[in-house]
Amino acid sequence: MRTTLVTLAVLACSVATAAEPAKTPNVVVIVADDLGSADVGFQGCKDIPTPHLDALAKSGVVCTSGYVSCPVCSPTRAGLLTGRYQQRFGHENNPRFLPDDKEVGLPLDQVTIADALKKVGYLTGAVGKWHLGAHPSFHPNRRGFDEYFGLLGGGHQYFDHNQFKTDPAKAKQEYFIPLLRNDKPVEEKEYLTDALGREAAAFVTAHKKEPFFLYLAFNAPHTPLQAPDKYLDRAKAIDDEKRRKYAAMVCGLDDAVGKLLATLKEHQLTENTLVFFFSDNGGPASVTNSRNTPLRGEKGQLYEGGVRVPFVVSWPAVLKPGQFADAVSSLDVFPTAVAAAGGEAPKGVTLDGVNLVPHLKGEAKTSLADRALFWRTGGGTNISVRKGSYKLVRMGKKPAELYDLSADGSEKTDLAGTKADIAAALQKELDAWNATLVNPKWAPLNAPPKK
């Protein structure tokens, strides 16, 4: 009897230990670039195979109302890495590629998620697109990241990365600049998306015995539309040439994510790794033939197609697979990751997101359904708020529009006239938020040059 009881006690202890995650999960944030909300299998896509992203979604929680804080690249990244609305510190527009400008980039007084995780003992790495300032002071190694491999600008050629060696002028052109390992130029022969997947997997292997934070920011499927035959062959059933190339690039993205996920599995890290996946904004449908259906709008717009994106949170040791309907934001990544790591918000900094884990587990004392999410572009030319199922949008000089997303996810029926009280209440919240913001620190890319 005694032996049996001891055996049972040991088994019970083993089960409890297996069920409890380590106090310091690894954290991986994967960001696609200009991915259409309807262009992955777990979002209903039929013509682009994305088995690895679908497997990630199956392992975690698919947030069906997942948002980013801006409908264009760099501001979303600034908000993601700081956990704050980027308009609070003037990072409202995409920055120009200006290696000599100390002002155009993620302000140096902003604390990044990498800074916060390093403080609690994490090894931090960034792989891929930076797009948060080209001056050396903005370099990832100076913004909390121990290791970096990638491209500093807003985009890059996917082939022929070494033209800077034979054409010095190319070394200063954003889409031809040398790829960097930390701050040193490197030669690269692989298709760029493959190279980023390789580097992400190598980072995991190198640091498998310590808690790590990996920020994997693809530039795919952002233009230029370039893909090797091995991915074009997977999309050969698509007749439209532009969409076929775009689809091939999504296949490459999926393979690279698959390589990373396989490496986590190889080192038995899957269960206790917190993984986020989303796009930095909606697809630019008119440019790449990406699809945001049934959402209205595209990249650059505050309608759902510009800011609502595929959004997955996976942490198998803690979160049960399923779906979550309340609105979540990329601003939630910072507080969620730091809380999971046992850290705290930076002193003197108010984060605009929340720790998602209690909500995704169904254990939160409050509901995200009551939270307001805000957007602003053009220094206030375009502005929007969502609270509950209602969303107020004002684009340019047009009157504000009101939509009930629970019944009208495609934003077809403007209710501003029939539900004026709701529109007025949302406008009041929007005005109060807008009053806390600052002016953009630099002009948008399409602004006329200063005389």
| Residue 165 pLDDT | 84
Q: Give the pLDDT mean for 51-80.
A: 98
| Superfamily of domain 24-364, CATH level 4 | Alkaline Phosphatase, subunit A (3.40.720.10)
User: pLDDT tier at 169 (50, 70, 90 boundaries)?
Assistant: confident
**Active-site amino acid positions:** 73, 131
Question: What is the percent of the chain with per-residue pLDDT over 70, rounded to a whole number?
Answer: 94
Q: Give the pLDDT mean for 203-229.
A: 98
User: pLDDT tier at 449 (50, 70, 90 boundaries)?
Assistant: low
Q: How far apart are CA 66 and CA 329, in angstroms?
A: 6
User: pLDDT tier at 93 (50, 70, 90 boundaries)?
Assistant: very high
pLDDT above 70: residue 5: no
User: pLDDT tier at 447 (50, 70, 90 boundaries)?
Assistant: low
pLDDT above 90: residue 19: no
Say which residues have a Cβ less than 8 Å from residue 31's Cβ, sequence separation at least 6. Answer: 77, 80, 128, 215, 216, 217, 218, 277, 278, 279, 280
Q: Give the pLDDT mean for 46-68.
A: 98
Q: Give the pLDDT mean for 123-134.
A: 98
Q: Phi and psi dihedrals of 230, rounded to 5?
A: -60, -30
The residue ranges of DSSP E strands in 72-230, in sequence order, are 123-129, 147-151, 179-181, 184-186, 212-217
| Residue 336 pLDDT | 98
3-state secondary structure (DSSP) of residue 155 = coil
Which CATH number fits the domain 371-434, given the four candidates 3.40.50.300, 3.30.1120.10, 3.90.930.60, 3.20.20.10? Answer: 3.30.1120.10
The tokens describing 32, both together, are 């696609």
pLDDT above 60: residue 65: yes
pLDDT above 70: residue 18: no
pLDDT above 60: residue 420: yes
Mean pLDDT, the chain, rounded, equals 94
| Residue 450 pLDDT | 55
Q: How far apart are CA 221 and CA 433, in angstroms?
A: 33
pLDDT above 50: residue 451: no
pLDDT above 50: residue 438: yes
Mean pLDDT lowest for which of 12-21, 42-51, 209-218, 258-267?
12-21
pLDDT above 50: residue 273: yes
| Residue 10 pLDDT | 40
pLDDT above 50: residue 379: yes
| Residue 71 pLDDT | 98
* Domain parsing of the chain, residue ranges: 24-364, 371-434
Place of tokens 């910072």: 334
Q: Give the pLDDT mean for 426-435.
A: 98
pLDDT above 70: residue 416: yes
